[in-house]
Amino acid sequence: MPEKNESLTQKARQLILSADHVPAPSPLLFRIIELMQDEKADVRDFKDLFTRDPGLSSCILRMANSAYYGYRGRVKDLERAIILIGFDEIKNICVTAVIIQQFAKKDMSSSFMHDLFWKHSLLVGILSKELAARCEGKQWCAGPYYTMGLLHDFGRLIIAAFLADYFDEILQRAEKEGIGLFEAERELGLTHTQVGYWLASKWGFPAGIRHVIACHHESDAAGKYSMETAVVRLANQLARYAQEPGNTPVPDPDRQDLKASCLELDDYKAQADRIFDILSGVDGFYDALQE
């Protein structure tokens, strides 16, 4: 790596890891991510969170009464919301709402498009969860896959929030050279996968999430988490196909990703068939969160 890039990497790393520049996340976010990984966590653990955080409980009630879930005005208490929406979905709402909220008030690069970023992240989260459910014979837990997909581009969010000039430089380089954002980052010497991994490690995200953040563009280093990384890579590929206009037909899956994910080609195709229904659901879900 050229000297210029080494100094960019070092400087960026120092900034990202400095508590003055990047404040710690809310304890609520820590707790939710912890619970999302804990297979023994039950409704009581989440109810405990809701009691301590009125903002989160009113968000759940608002979501339950939104057009997206279709119970308009009929859900008065959390107990009923959990029964109607389902515990897995409640967990997904919690982690999504809290992470979006964490960055909503932060000054970001003016080029950062919140709606586009979050709708893509949400779609990758849902697709990762659904693809993982198709991995027959494997132990599966909805929480981690949704969160891994949701946070796969965590580094891009962090660059836009805390290295805003560099975020703009990436966009300019990509546009000028007609290349993808990741390629532009590589040319400039600092990628969102590196940045995301640094902060995810500092914030104590679980190993699976950290590996997906670090390896979702280059899965060779995913090691023990190659299955999780492959699922999120396939989900990301399908999401990009659905969200980037003119991308037809459905892209073939990478053979290595299919193998590592334990998915069959038919599973991938079946998921692709549902993609536009899921995408319109994502729009509704995101709109409900903003209400």
**Nearer to Fe ion by C-beta: 25 or 149?**
149
Minimum CB separation of residue 19 from Fe ion in Å reads 26
Minimum CB separation of residue 73 from Fe ion in Å reads 39
Asked if residues 136 and 78 have their Cβ atoms less than 8 Å apart, the reply is no
Minimum CB separation of residue 150 from Fe ion in Å reads 13
Q: Residue 119: CB partners within 8 Å, gap ≥ 6? A: 243, 282, 283, 286
- Please give the Cα distance from 168 to 290 (Å, whole number): 26
E-assigned strand segments in 125-261: none
The string of DSSP codes covering 83-114 is HHH-HHHHHHHHHHHHHHHHHHTS---TT--H
274: phi then psi, degrees, rounded to nearest 5: -95, 0
**Nearer to Fe ion by C-beta: 89 or 185?**
185
CA–CA distances in Å: residue 192 to residues 6, 158, 216, 277: 15, 8, 10, 29
Minimum CB separation of residue 182 from Fe ion in Å reads 6
**Nearer to Fe ion by C-beta: 83 or 116?**
116
Minimum CB separation of residue 192 from Fe ion in Å reads 6
**Nearer to Fe ion by C-beta: 93 or 239?**
239
Residue with the CB atom nearest Fe ion in the bound state:
153
**Nearer to Fe ion by C-beta: 153 or 267?**
153
- Positions that interact with Fe ion (CB under 5 A): 153
